[in-house]
Structure 1
Amino acid sequence: MQTNNRLRESLVVIVCLLSMISCLAIYMAQQTNQYDTNFFRMQIIFITVGFVAVFLLSKLDMTFVRSNIIWVYLAMLILLAGILIPNPLVAKINGATRWYQLAGFSLQPSEIAKSMFIVVIAHFAAKYERIIWKQLLITWSLAGVVLLLIMKQPDLGTTIVYFVSAFTISILALKSTKLIITILTSLVVAVSGGLYLVVYHVNLLEKIGFKSYQFRRIHTWLDPASDPNSFYQVDRSLKAIGSGTMSGSNSTSVYIPESHTDMIFSTIGNQFGFIGASLLLILFMLFIHQLIIAALHMKSSFSTYVIAGFAMMFAFNIFENIAMTIGLMPLTGIPLPFISYGGSSTLGNMIALGIILAVIKCDDTSLRRA
């Protein structure tokens, strides 16, 4: 119990520090005078609401949640499917329908549903862990429907995040080493085949529902000279981070597109230099480390799967966001957890933290029998 309490406290402290960095970075991003909206003030409101959500969700009885897991899954499907049905609350922006809009506020359901998705997949992975074929069939049938709904928005980046989270839980739940090796080998082959199609036969992928702009970003990543306009954002990001040197740039006039949202790491690198960026990375590593320790410390399979799923979700988000700002990965719309501006992403991450705290609190032998 004492160890669980220390884990919970350390996670909350780290997220508090990350939230402070978020507000500071957003404030610095506004100093370029490229925005009229006071994002700094809005982010404080989002974070405050988020911590209220953390407090409430940390009180959840996970045994009760698991006993009503079907309703959780149905609620998630309604939330995601509603965005695809034409209605006054849905806005189409840049060809994508990813947001509900009401009274001037927008909500991205895929950010909110991440936590529900991980809990659902972890529940069925734990429930059928003794029957491998049934476990794989049920978990991936449920996951497949959700992945399809997100792809239809379309939102390839978020779809990958969902897939990686489910895949992590699925691999952990398998007890057969041979099967794990077979699945991992198949995944490597599939990814390699997919990259080959993207580079040489992209027209085949477009015929099955993918969008050309999704692959244009990959082509630009592989060959920046092929489309200088698409590479402009990454180019500005690299220049901004480079000009930050060791302790940060004295200039406040560096222009970085989306410097308060997806490219906020560029702002941190520019304003606080290598030292500031390194401190942020250390905090992120501590956060993931605490999640891994918590997952290993849990008594029930369900608790382990949930926390491991969240650990991979956050780790992938952090890696992908930072990697795209320095040109190591293609550009995506994935925000930097707890740092990027945004009501949906902030609330989604805080919901995840609240559920993690609830799982750690409720972990006991009764969860095994649920």
Structure 2
Amino acid sequence: MSLLTMRPVRSRDRRSALWQADWVMVLGVLALAFLGALLVWSATYQRTSLTDGHPQAYLFRHALNFAIGAVLAVGAAVTDHRRLRILAPLLYVASLLGLILVLVPGVGAVINGSRSWIELPWMSVQPSEFAKLAVIVGMALLIAEKGETNHRENARTIDVAQAIAVAAIPVLLVMLQPDLGTVMVLGSIVFGIIAVSGVPKRWMLGLVTAAVLIATLAIQFNVLKDYQLARFTAFADPSQDPQGIGYNVNQARIAIGNGGVFGQGLFHGSQTQNAFVPEQHTDFVFTVAGEELGLIGAGAIIALFALILWRGLRIAVNARDAFDRLVATGIVCWFAFQAFENIGMTLGIMPVTGLPLPFVSYGGSSMFAGLLAIGLLQNIHLRTHEI
């Protein structure tokens, strides 16, 4: 079934949509954002080099980022489903343009060794965050449209190959930055979408083999920087260079270990308040929770992510068509892998890759993209309950 012959969808009453939203998921995201605001505040309020003497600066910015993201989420949730499918190619093309622009000297800014940012007068934008969403909707639209046109429940091999090609372009552009963490997230998204598209299981083995081959070639042809390779070395043995590349991991472990069961108290963590852990308001924000809120606070964050992922899976299972199911699956894979990678690197069970913790870490691009994804999940959920 094509877009032109698709059955018209009755416009939903906005007040009805408000009550039919998945409020369990919404409250879970709100709780994560609230905890994130407290953790970011605690990690920054004494660091004058970051705040320029304004202790609440990052708290206010984090709240503003969430407010803007919430508006984007509501917009995505109430937008007509047919319009979303029409806008999907535009989102994909816009993300490609952003990924190309960051590679242009004088336009893209290098931060922490990766050319991933575009500096604007009022904020920095990281196009790779929006590329995650673009890959999801791009792959989902292609596979769904092919299936509807050919009246097939499962995707054909040629359909999957074309969808992988759609994902490969952003992946290659992100590798050129290079941003290994985002490449890993995109890989998990591709794997998840293909897994539920109905193709034979040999495709899963092929994707894993291709990922290993690409990683090998990236190392062989020096696509990855020396510091990125050193991070894997530090992951294998953090004690090898405790004052160098292994410093982040060692300090993160000390901070989390200091917290015990109940934590040292918000704004009272010794590692946090003495600024021993680098990038603690962004990539290593989970260490603030571990040290100041203890096992209970850190466990609550993990439980909230589990709650959001569970609701996302329910939305995927109950989706009305292939496009909705694939989009919901891709978003769940994104959040699941990125949360696992971020928390895992602070615990030393995953390599350091510089990925933020969704809804918790400070960062506008991450917050906007994540809340847009939540809005899409709500859109799919609302459509499932339309009469």
Tell whether the structures are fold-level matches, with TM greater than 0.5.
Answer: yes
| CA deviation vs aligned residue, 1:310-356 (integer Å, no higher than 9, x gap) | 00100001100000001001001110010001111111111111122
Other-structure match for 1:223: 237
| CA deviation vs aligned residue, 1:197-217 (integer Å, no higher than 9, x gap) | 5xxxx9x72416232222111
2:204 corresponds to which of 160, 164, 184:
184
Q: Does 1:15 align with 2:29?
A: yes
Q: CA deviation at 1:146?
A: 1.2
User: What amino acid is the match of 1:148?
Assistant: L
Name the Cα RMSD after superposition. Answer: 2.5
* In structure 2, distance between residues paired with 1:95 and 1:266: 23
Other-structure match for 2:144: 126
Other-structure match for 1:306: 327
Q: CA deviation at 1:119?
A: 0.9
2:299 corresponds to which of 260, 266, 278:
278
Inter-CA distance 275–68: structure 2 relative to 1 (3 Å threshold): closer
1:154 corresponds to which of 170, 178, 199:
178
2:250 corresponds to which of 232, 235, 247:
235
CA contact (8 A) 2:91 2:134 kept: yes
Other-structure match for 1:269: 290
* In structure 2, distance between residues paired with 1:208 and 1:35: 34
* In structure 1, distance between residues paired with 2:32 and 2:289: 12
TM normalised by structure 2 equals: 0.85
Other-structure match for 1:25: 39
CA contact (8 A) 1:122 1:169 kept: yes
1:288 corresponds to which of 297, 305, 309:
309
In structure 2, the residue corresponding to 1:173 is in which secondary structure? Answer: coil
User: What amino acid is the match of 1:342?
Assistant: G
* In structure 1, distance between residues paired with 2:95 and 2:29: 26
User: What amino acid is the match of 2:161?
Assistant: L
* In structure 2, distance between residues paired with 1:53 and 1:125: 26
* In structure 1, distance between residues paired with 2:212 and 2:132: 27
**5+ residue gaps in structure 1?**
none
1:1-370 equivalence runs, <5 A: 6=20, 8-33=22-47, 35-37=49-51, 38-87=57-106, 89-129=107-147, 130=152, 132-175=156-199, 179-180=200-201, 182-189=202-209, 205-207=219-221, 209-228=223-242, 229-250=244-265, 251-254=268-271, 255-363=276-384
* In structure 2, distance between residues paired with 1:276 and 1:293: 26
* In structure 1, distance between residues paired with 2:386 and 2:70: 29
* In structure 1, distance between residues paired with 2:92 and 2:353: 27
* In structure 1, distance between residues paired with 2:156 and 2:287: 44
| CA deviation vs aligned residue, 1:246-296 (integer Å, no higher than 9, x gap) | 101154432321111110110001000011111111111111000011111
Inter-CA distance 284–101: structure 2 relative to 1 (3 Å threshold): same
Deviates more, 1:160-169 or 1:120-129: 120-129
CA contact (8 A) 2:231 2:245 kept: yes
CA contact (8 A) 2:319 2:380 kept: no
In structure 2, the residue corresponding to 1:84 is in which secondary structure? Answer: coil
Inter-CA distance 134–189: structure 2 relative to 1 (3 Å threshold): closer
Structure with larger RCO (C-alpha < 8 A, sep 6+): 1
* In structure 2, distance between residues paired with 1:328 and 1:286: 22
CA contact (8 A) 1:321 1:336 kept: yes
| CA deviation vs aligned residue, 1:21-56 (integer Å, no higher than 9, x gap) | 111111221355365312112101111111111122
| CA deviation vs aligned residue, 1:223-262 (integer Å, no higher than 9, x gap) | 2233221111111111111110110115443232111111
Inter-CA distance 227–193: structure 2 relative to 1 (3 Å threshold): farther
* In structure 2, distance between residues paired with 1:309 and 1:155: 20
Inter-CA distance 218–14: structure 2 relative to 1 (3 Å threshold): same
- The structure that is helix-richer by fraction is 1
User: What amino acid is the match of 2:79?
Assistant: L
* In structure 2, distance between residues paired with 1:140 and 1:249: 47
Deviates more, 1:107-116 or 1:24-33: 24-33
**5+ residue gaps in structure 2?**
1-11, 52-56
Inter-CA distance 34–233: structure 2 relative to 1 (3 Å threshold): farther
* In structure 2, distance between residues paired with 1:194 and 1:116: 22
* In structure 1, distance between residues paired with 2:209 and 2:137: 29
